[in-house]
């Protein structure tokens, strides 16, 4: 009896699932039966699941990821199914750029941040940042910004970008005067460590300044630390002058 095409595909899919859930001799036997069936009817693994290679070599099916099933679900005309797939996919760290781009084309970054903002705010532990800053930051983020960051899940990428921008939005930009280039670099690094936001060193004519997003409290810390540094230098200079007066120059 000759199997109809749709029946052949159904049988092949059952064999593929059996292959995935078996091991040892049973898996080897299933592999051989599946390959023979595919070759007999001119089918490939791609006819069973679109993300699989156009090959009858079933060992390629071992590379199947849970993410592949969710990616396929994005093409389903059912909002609930797509939402569930997106919820799973934003946590996947190992996706290609094309896959990330596909997900982002179906994902609302603003809605993702809105759902996760309370938890992110708690984890941020930054008294200056409010939930509105996170939501405002989310509106300024583009797909390309997220795609530019690799090596982590979309959710982790968005969290990093959004919280960094929220810190900046929560703090006014201030201009700090520096005595010289070295002092400017010192101030910029101090501001970065306190606010966790990069600061810029700017030279205009002969004047060096630092542009930094820092809160009033952080500005007070910068002044206290720089005053202490200045006091330390003044005391060192005074001690050196006193030693020279007492014992002569060395």
Domain segments of the chain: what residues? 5-64, 70-169, 173-247
Distance CA 172, CA 175 (A): 10
Residue 55 has what pLDDT? 82
Distance CA 138, CA 161 (A): 9
- The vertex-147 CA angle with 146 and 152, nearest 5°, equals 75
Q: State how far the alpha carbon of 85 is from the alpha carbons of 68, 97, 219, in Å.
A: 10, 18, 45
Low-confidence ranges of the chain (pLDDT < 50): 1-3
Tell me which H or E stretch contains 212. Answer: strand 207-213
Alpha helices in 21-108 (DSSP H): 24-40, 45-48, 66-73, 79-89, 97-106
pTM: 0.66
**Cβ(129)–Cβ(166) under 8 Å?**
yes
């Amino acid at each position: 009896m000759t199997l109809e095409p749709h029946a052949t595909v159904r049988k092949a899919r059952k064999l593929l699932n059996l292959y995935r859930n078996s091991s040892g001799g049973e898996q080897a036997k299933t592999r051989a039966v599946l390959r023979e069936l595919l070759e007999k009817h001119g089918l490939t693994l791609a006819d069973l699941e679109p993300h699989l290679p156009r090959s009858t070599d079933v060992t390629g099916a071992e590379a199947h990821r849970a993410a592949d099933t969710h990616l396929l679900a994005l093409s389903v005309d059912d909002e609930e199914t797509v939402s569930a797939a997106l919820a799973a996919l934003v946590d996947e760290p190992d996706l290609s750029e094309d896959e990330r781009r596909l997900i982002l084309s179906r994902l609302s970054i603003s809605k993702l941040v809105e759902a996760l903002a309370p938890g992110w705010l708690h984890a941020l532990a930054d008294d200056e940042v409010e939930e509105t800053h996170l939501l405002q930051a989310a509106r300024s983020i583009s797909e390309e910004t997220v795609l530019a960051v690799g090596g982590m899940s979309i959710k982790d990428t968005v969290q990093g970008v959004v919280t960094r921008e929220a810190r900046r939005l929560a703090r006014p930009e201030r201009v700090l005067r520096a005595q010289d280039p070295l002092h400017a670099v010192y101030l910029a690094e101090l501001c970065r460590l306190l606010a966790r936001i990069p600061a810029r060193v700017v030279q205009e004519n002969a004047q060096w300044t630092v542009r930094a997003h820092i809160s009033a409290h952080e500005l007070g810390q910068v002044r206290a630390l720089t005053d202490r540094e200045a006091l330390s230098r003044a005391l060192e200079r005074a001690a050196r002058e006193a030693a020279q007066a007492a014992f002569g120059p060395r």
